[in-house]
Structure 1
Amino acid sequence: MTNPSSSVVPLPMPAADPAEEVTVLVCSSCRLADAPAAEPRPGTLLVADARKAAEGTGITVREVACLGNCRGGLTAAVFRSGCWAYVFGGLGPGSGADLVAGARLFAGSGDGFMPFRARPEALKRGLIARIPHPDILKDLP
């Protein structure tokens, strides 16, 4: 949902299947706050959980070594071509289904935003940042 007082410029949505354009990036090196380093890392467990939850959905799950939110707990990002990207923290090793549910909402969004009210609770309270796609910035003053 866009904020009428903001200068957000909606972009035309891609013609391809939007689920195939949504990617979940999960930090595999993340660990729980104040927890000792252990193997497998909780971030690696979250990668596996998200991949399992994404099976058959068209959502792509990829792991990255670090998203730079080390003090914020387990972290993941969700992005879609031509749309805003979302970064979430404070996740748990079993939050894969929540990430995929949010990604599916995002995939079905006609305005390029992940609907807030329908998000799983972990994605409502864990939002770290929302980042505009570079194409959106072209139309801003």
Structure 2
Amino acid sequence: MTLTGIDADEDEAATLAAATVYVCITCRRPDDPEDGPRPGLALARATAQAAQGTGVAVCQVQCLANCSRPCSAAMRCDGAWAYVFGGLEPDRDAPALIEGARLLARAQDGILPWRGRPEILKRGLIARMPPIGFEEERE
């Protein structure tokens, strides 16, 4: 059975709705004043704006414990590996986070593909964690 254009659009929307980007709003660089505006909050706001109309959810979080590489964000999808990124720039990298979440949501194997991944998500990768229930294949 083939999907109609409408079915494909609904299927795509459902796939992307499973993608969430978490942005640390407390991130700041070492030389930023402690009581000044947080670059992490600016990144969260820019990411939410970049996500409008994409189906990707954006959540603000207090801390991702990646303080040595601010600004930080993470992404996850049900049944997929989760990823943490650092060294993000609020005025530049929000669209890359949304594109990465879209790539992850579409990945059949649950792994964010290297090919097509925005450059900042290649060089800014901090860690990836397996999905809940993951079992390593043994020989």
TM-score surpassing 0.5?
yes
Q: Is the 8 A contact 1:26 1:61 kept in 2?
A: yes
Query: How many residue pairs end up in the alignment?
Result: 126
Q: Say whether 1:73 aligns with 2:81.
A: no
State the Cα deviation string for residues 66-117 of structure 1 (Å, max 9, x = none): 0000111100000001110000001011211110011111112111111112
AA partner of residue 47 (structure 2): A
- Structure 1 runs (4+) deviating above 3 angstroms are none
Please report how far the alpha carbon of residue 140 of structure 1 lies from its aligned counterpart in structure 2 after TM superposition. Answer: 5.2
Matching of residue 46 in structure 1 with residue 37 in structure 2? no
Counterparts of 1:128 and 1:49 in 2: how far apart (Å)?
21
Q: Report the equivalent of 1:22.
A: 19
Does residue 124 in structure 1 map to residue 122 in structure 2?
yes
TM-score norm. by structure 1 comes to: 0.83
CA drift at 1:40: 2.3
| Higher alpha-carbon deviation: 18-27 or 37-46 | 37-46
What stretches of structure 2 of length at least 5 have no aligned partner? 1-12
Greater C-alpha Rg: 2
**Match for residue 108 of structure 1?**
106
Instruction: Measure, in 2, the Cα distance between the counterparts of 1:21 and 1:88.
Output: 19
Which amino acid in 2 is paired with 1:26? V
Q: Provide the secondary structure at the position in 1 that maps to 2:29.
A: coil
Please tell me the residue identity of whatever aligns with 1:47.
A
> Partners of 2:35 and 2:96 in 1: how far apart?
24
Query: Is residue 25–residue 61 contact of structure 1 (8 Å, CA) maintained in 2?
Result: yes
- Supply the RMSD in Å over aligned alpha carbons: 1.8
Is the 8 Å Cα contact of residues 25 and 63 (structure 1) preserved in structure 2? Answer: yes
CA distance in 2 between counterparts of 1:91 and 1:103 reads: 15
Q: What is the identity percentage for the equivalent residue pairs of Structure 1 and Structure 2?
A: 47
Find the partner of 1:134 among 117, 132, 135. 132
CA distance in 2, matches of 1:42, 1:74: 7
Superposed displacement of residue 135, structure 1: 1.2
C-alpha separation in 2, matches of 1:56 and 1:24: 14
Amino acid at match of 1:124: K
